[in-house]
């Protein structure tokens, strides 16, 4: 049985003070919970403060990105060594990183290796754009992204990865995929590729989230799908009550 995992990607929102206030409000709205993993991913400047606000909480903490090198002349970048001990998770290869900041499959692969070198649990994002979707290229493209990202990743490491299937056309648009379509891509393409690369058992072990316009009112549709193990939530994670409602919907629909 895979344990559901709900992560909130705050993107470039919230100052340090606002982040602390948000995580406190979320903690309160959620209360005690069990049966799923939950994490918030604030911007870098807020990581330490949010970590402080999460003392004695079961809510995990993640970064939204990182470089793959340990240190060096990479102005503006943050290394895995700097994140080690500060957070538990790191989002890797988000489509905004890929499309707006030129992240390639090869960079995503290097970041994945670096995450394991420093004991960070990666959330690997994959997903097709609208053109690819309309052209019927989703399976080939998403399968290719998974394959490229996992180059040289051992089975033991792969089991610890969370993959977020996030169709780009659904991110921030208010137009989510249907639960059925997301379930099919995750089952056939994401798990299918994992089975090809490793084996069936591993493909059934890896947690795969859906992401893209997940809200309290559609969360149940995704969480009740057998192949979907949670969500990567953007916009709705910025409102404590909404994000708590999504976690609750997950627990009620597993
Ligand atoms: P959204 O973002 O929930 O605002 O669509 C999801 C994401 O980018 O992870």
CATH number of residue 175's parent domain:
3.20.20.70
Determine whether the shortest distance from the Cβ of 233 to ligand 1 is under 6 A. yes
Burial class (CB within 10 angstroms; exposed 0-12, middle 13-18, buried 19+) of 35: exposed
For residue 117, is it within any domain? yes
Nearest CA to ligand 1 atom 3: 234
| 87 has pLDDT over 90 | yes
For residue 168, is it within any domain? yes
Model pLDDT, residue 43 = 98
Model pLDDT, residue 88 = 98
Determine whether the shortest distance from the Cβ of 66 to ligand 1 is under 6 A. no
Q: How many domains does the chain have?
A: 1
To the query of whether residue 103 is one of the catalytic residues in this protein, the response is no
CA of 124 to the centre of ligand 1 (A): 14
For residue 78, is it within any domain? no
For residue 15, is it within any domain? yes
- Over residues 239-250, the mean pLDDT reads 98
For residue 242, is it within any domain? yes
| 1 has pLDDT over 90 | no
CA of 233 to the centre of ligand 1 (A): 5
* Secondary structure element (H or E) that encloses residue 194, with its range: helix 191-197
| 235 has pLDDT over 90 | yes
Query: For the segment 164-196, what is each residue's pLDDT rounded down to a tens digit?
Result: 999 999 999 999 999 999 999 999 999 999 999
- Over residues 104-113, the mean pLDDT reads 98
Domain range for 25 is 5-32+102-246
Look at phi and psi of residue 55 and say left if phi exceeds 0, alpha if psi is from -120 to 50, else beta.
Answer: beta
Model pLDDT, residue 153 = 98
For residue 171, is it within any domain? yes
Q: Give exposure, 58-96, as e/b (b: 16+ Cβ within 10 Å).
A: ebbbbbbbbbbeeeeeeeeebbbebbeeebbbbbbbbbb
DSSP tag of 77: -
For residue 92, is it within any domain? no
Q: Residue 114: which of 66, 163, 159 has the closest Cα?
A: 66
Determine whether the shortest distance from the Cβ of 127 to ligand 1 is under 6 A. no
Whether this model's pTM surpasses 0.85: yes
Model pLDDT, residue 254 = 83
> Rounded to an integer, what distance in angstroms lies between the CA atom of residue 146 and that of residue 155?
14
Query: For the segment 189-230, what is each residue's pLDDT rounded down to a tens digit?
Result: 999 999 999 999 999 999 999 999 999 999 999 999 999 999
Query: For the segment 8-36, what is each residue's pLDDT rounded down to a tens digit?
Result: 999 999 999 999 999 999 999 999 999 99
């Amino acid at each position: 049985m895979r344990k559901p995992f709900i992560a909130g990607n705050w993107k470039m929102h919230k100052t340090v003070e606002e982040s602390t206030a948000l995580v406190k409000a979320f903690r309160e709205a959620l209360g005690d919970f069990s049966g799923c993993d939950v994490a918030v991913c604030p911007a870098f400047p807020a990581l330490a403060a949010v970590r402080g606000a999460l003392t004695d909480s079961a809510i995990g903490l993640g970064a939204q990105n990182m470089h793959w090198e340990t240190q060096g002349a990479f102005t503006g970048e943050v290394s895995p060594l700097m994140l080690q001990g500060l957070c538990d998770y790191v989002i890797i290869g988000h489509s905004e990183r890929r499309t707006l900041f030129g992240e390639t499959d090869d960079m995503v692969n290097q970041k994945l290796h670096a995450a394991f070198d420093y004991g960070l649990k990666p959330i690997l994002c994959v997903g097709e754009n609208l053109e690819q979707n309309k052209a019927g290229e989703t399976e080939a493209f998403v399968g290719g992204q998974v394959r490229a990202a996992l180059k040289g990743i051992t089975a033991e490491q792969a089991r610890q990865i969370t993959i977020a299937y996030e169709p780009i056309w659904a991110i921030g648009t208010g137009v989510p995929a249907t639960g059925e379509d997301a379930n099919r891509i995750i089952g056939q393409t994401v798990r299918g590729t994992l089975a090809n690369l490793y084996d069936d058992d591993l493909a059934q072990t890896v947690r795969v989230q859906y992401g893209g316009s997940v809200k309290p009112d559609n969360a149940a549709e995704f969480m009740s799908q057998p192949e979907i193990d949670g969500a990567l939530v953007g916009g709705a994670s910025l409102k404590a009550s909404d994000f708590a409602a999504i976690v609750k919907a997950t627990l009620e629909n597993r």
